[in-house]
Structure 1
């Protein structure tokens, strides 16, 4: 890594926080976050009664608390990306999609914009992790018979089962359901209508939210799956007869199944097993010595 590049990273770090605070210290107008909100570096960032916290105090605290950790993460990523490019390491897109899908199912309800930003962030994290894994295990080798045995036993765990992220409003009769649907059409909130009308006591207080459900799950009514398969994401259905009433569902997300052949998953399975046998944690520290690195925190 060149000193010029590292110096650039240091300068950025010293004037940013983890929310990507972008500013040069001699400018008064400060871009606060990714939404381009601005503040003045000459004014207090908070006041508590007669006490104020200045912009300079805030930035100093950020550098003290997060400076070294954030800079190390930035250097780690640059090291991994440079070495992965030099080695021609490419990560299978299906694997990236599988990991992102799995991580997405651990999230709550998001808007389309929020989901897009989160998926972009997760993709970067997943790609970095697999590049790092491949680099750390580059010189290791696992016997073919051990790999095949492992795949036979655990290969299905690498697959992802199609999932639906749903909310619903469940009522006693079609008349009530039509009333709810009319209110939705007039712009009423699905969450608030669920709280008001739904007879599902387990979900009504959370806006009818059911979470992510595998399409193969016994807990997903077949009528829900059939209807959701024809719906667009971020849309609600018309009322329909359900097993225990009349329902309206809201489809937040629809995630398809992802399956791997032995040859597709083999390189990643091999590096994973190799790191286990090496007792090597997933850290970029051993890779630093492969590049010429200098940073403000020493060797």
Structure 2
């Protein structure tokens, strides 16, 4: 439309008075304005939710004694309880990616694999990070942490003799035993355990039965998932590790006795074979760890928000 109008204007006789030229272009400008308003109107209508979408906010997702819980109430509750933390994590990850580009920092898959292996072997029973995050989410979280550490320590010098001595003193940390991704169902008696085993044989899902029947409330809420079990963990009942050693991936153990006299069944989702890391494999990690010890422990990704103009729904800064 504009190119056509420009052609018309250029074709106007140079002898035409300026006032007459303006009169000729005025109707066209009015037409353009009407078209612009019309386009804006339809764009706004397109953005507005349809009647069906609006109605979706009132869709029932649960009911208690006849009292309904709508999708809108559900989503509002999730935002209220988890929204701020989730958004903060997303902003932190984005900020760290910006920092990686700014300071030309690289994080390799091998570095993330190393951190994952160390995390799994040293998992604390009270730390449910592995269970709560998917593999991709966990890798992204580790990546963001590695970027932060590399940014903070990029100008800190650590002597080779220090890192070599550290490796020798902590060599056992880098000899990682075989780990078993395990879920459990804990019951009161052997009869209860046999009953659960029969339900599994009849097609019931392990995670569903764990939520319904397991007496171990912390793992039951996670479908029985207790993370990765190793022979060296002191926070996990030794009977669990002994039981999972005898089965394959996606198999369930026979009922076995725990140290407190209760019975359990265990399911193995994944088996990661043990591995050892040489000094060359972990040298950069050790140097970074020693460098971090020289810095204040309170530095977090939020410290870089201002540098990369990060803002969010909850106001300025963190």
- The interval holding the TM-score normalised by the smaller chain is 0.5 to 0.7
- Aligned with residue 250 of structure 1, among 255, 258, 267: 267
Normalising by structure 1, report the TM-score: 0.55
Which structure 2 residues correspond to residues 44-193 of structure 1 after superposition, within 5 A? 66=84, 73=92, 76-83=95-102, 86-90=104-108, 92-98=111-117, 101=120, 106-107=127-128, 118-164=134-180, 165-167=182-184, 181-188=197-204, 190=206, 192=209
Deviation at 1:122, TM superposition (A): 0.9
Q: Point out the more displaced range, 275-284 or 141-150.
A: 275-284
More helix by share: 2
Q: SS where residue 227 of structure 1 aligns?
A: coil
Unaligned runs of 5+ in 1: 1-23, 30-37
State the structure with more CA Rg: 2
Distance 1:269 1:247 in 2: 40
Does the CA contact (< 8 Å) of 2:193 and 2:264 recur in 1? yes
1:90-138 C-alpha deviation (Å, 9 max, x unpaired): 352431432563569733996xxxx7x6221110010111122122211
* Distance (whole Å) between structure 2 residues aligned to residue 70 and residue 253 of structure 1: 27
Specify the SS of the correspondent of 2:134.
Answer: helix
Q: 1:28 aligns with which of 26, 49, 58?
A: 49
- Residues in 2 aligned to 1:203 and 1:140: alpha-carbon distance in whole angstroms: 46
Cα RMSD, aligned residues only: 5.4
Q: Report if the CA contact (8 A) 1:98-1:160 is conserved.
A: yes
Secondary structure of the 1:278 match is coil
CA distance in 2, matches of 1:221, 1:131: 36
Are residues 25 and 136 of structure 1, via their aligned partners in 2, closer, same or farther at CA, if it must alter by over 3 Å? farther
CA contact (8 A) 2:174 2:276 kept: yes
Q: Quick check: 2:93–2:144 contact (8 Å CA) kept in 1?
A: no
Under a length normalisation based on structure 2, what TM-score does the superposition of the two structures give?
0.53
Of 68-77 and 155-164, deviating more is 68-77
1:220 CA displacement = 3.2
Aligned to 1:219: 238
Alignment CA distance shift 1:150-1:256 (3 Å) = same
User: Distance in 1 between the 2:46 and 2:170 partners?
Assistant: 54
1:274 corresponds, among 291, 297, 303, to 291
Partners in 1 of 2:162 and 2:177 — Cα distance?
Answer: 26
Q: Is the 8 A contact 1:167 1:211 kept in 2?
A: yes
2:40 corresponds in structure 1 to none
Question: Between Structure 1 and Structure 2, how many residues are aligned?
Answer: 241
Tell me which residue corresponds to 2:278. Answer: 261
Q: 2 CA distance for matches of 1:87 and 1:193?
A: 43
Asked if structure 2 preserves the Cα contact closer than 8 Å seen for 1:195 and 1:205, the reply is no
Q: How does 1:279-294 map to 2 (within 5 A)?
A: 279=296, 281-284=298-301, 293-294=308-309
Partner Cα separation in structure 2 for residue 168 and residue 71 of structure 1: 34
The 3 A distance-change label for structure 1 pair 272 and 83 is farther
Distance 2:286 2:54 in 1: 51
